Amino acid sequence: MIFFCMLHLLRLFKIIKTSKRKDAVMKQLKMAGWLVAALITGWIGMKGYYYFFDATHPTLLVSGLQDGGYYAGDVSCVVNGEHPYKVKNVTVLLDGQPLTYNFAIGKASFEYPFTLATRALPNGKHKVEVKIVDGTFKVHATEKQYDIMVDNTPLQAAFAKQSADLRVFQGKTLHVQFQTSKPLKKATAKLFSQEFDCFPESKGSSVYEAFIPVECEEKPNEYLLSIDCYDHVDNFVPLEGKVQVVPFPFKKHTLHVSAKKIEEEKALGESHEKLNQELKRLALASPKEKLWNGNFYVPTEVIRISTEFGTVRTTQERGRYAHKGIDIVNHPRSVVWAPQDGQVVIKERYAYSGNTVMID
């Protein structure tokens, strides 16, 4: 603004030399002079206010670092800061030692890049501190701290068992285990055109595992199993093996239930479709961690098993289908206990399963 007013003054001086209306031009010149003086005074006053009275702390933004983040190699970082008066200097500390100490800025806004060479650091936890100070009379400072993890260890992974041992019957669960050289950010097993999350065998373990259900209807054949392993600095290692699905001799069972009984059960409980919807919703909301440890227990004393898992059952209501459960018989009003630790997610009555308690 002051620059444009000065140009206007120079233009008026030229007009005075060539114009006959000197009085009118002099009046404009005087007004422009007052305007320039007012602008200069305002600018000085504003700077003086920011210097002596402003309590605003400088704003600070650090790009390239995240608190709790994992890093490897050379990490490019940028410090951005600004203050209405000016930023005086910037300091960057690594584990209390200066990478940059009181580096002079002297601007209202600035951008300062620096590189974090993590290869020169031991693996593990480190602290980065960034501080900027303004140039005001009261000297305000803004500081940010970042606890980071340095991880330059190469990622390695291998199956706990030989690939030839990966055999599973129809209707059973494939248990896959593999070991890694360090903790993973994510591991995903891929089989039967589906993806399954992998988790540590126990807290802090370097052995990861996945439990992959094999449908009763899955065709006996050899299938490709792949596992994608990512560490916290996004190194990637693939594992590949072959899974042999072996045929299982499922039993056959014809169940005769009266139409009246079927209608009574439907009236007492929620529909089978609603149960399936709940199962899908709960699978998505399930915690991404292993809530149990050790073997599963039979949830009550068993007098006999009335229907085994995978039995090909035929009823007048549902026709022919694979029975995806195990029906066990005990005395009426017997105690039923949880087969393992977990969270109760369903307690409801359904048409086909009756009184139902589901544990995640």
pLDDT digits (tens, 9 = 90+) for 347-360: 999 887 888 999 99
Average pLDDT over residues 247-266: 79
Query: Are 286 and 359 spatial neighbours (Cβ–Cβ below 8 Å)?
Result: no
**How many Cα atoms occupy the beta-carbon half-sphere of 162 within 13 Å?**
2
Quick check: 113 pLDDT over 90? Answer: yes
Residue 125 token pair: 């936890």
Q: What is the mean pLDDT of the chain?
A: 86
The pLDDT score that the predictor gives to residue 353 is 80
Residue 184 token pair: 């993973």
Name the band, by pLDDT with cuts 50, 70 and 90, for residue 6.
Answer: low
Name the band, by pLDDT with cuts 50, 70 and 90, for residue 36.
Answer: low
From CA 76, how far away is CA 310, in angstroms rounded? 57
**At a CB cut-off of 8 Å and minimum separation 6, what does 341 contact?**
291, 292, 293
The amino acid at residue 131 is K
Stated pTM of the model = 0.74
Q: H or E segment at 5?
A: helix 2-18
Rounded to the nearest 10 degrees, the angle between the axes of helix 2-18 and helix 22-52 is 160
Query: Are 116 and 94 spatial neighbours (Cβ–Cβ below 8 Å)?
Result: yes
The pLDDT score that the predictor gives to residue 249 is 94
Residue 157 token pair: 């992974």
- 117 vs 165, higher pLDDT: 117
Quick check: 35 pLDDT over 70? Answer: no
The pLDDT score that the predictor gives to residue 102 is 93
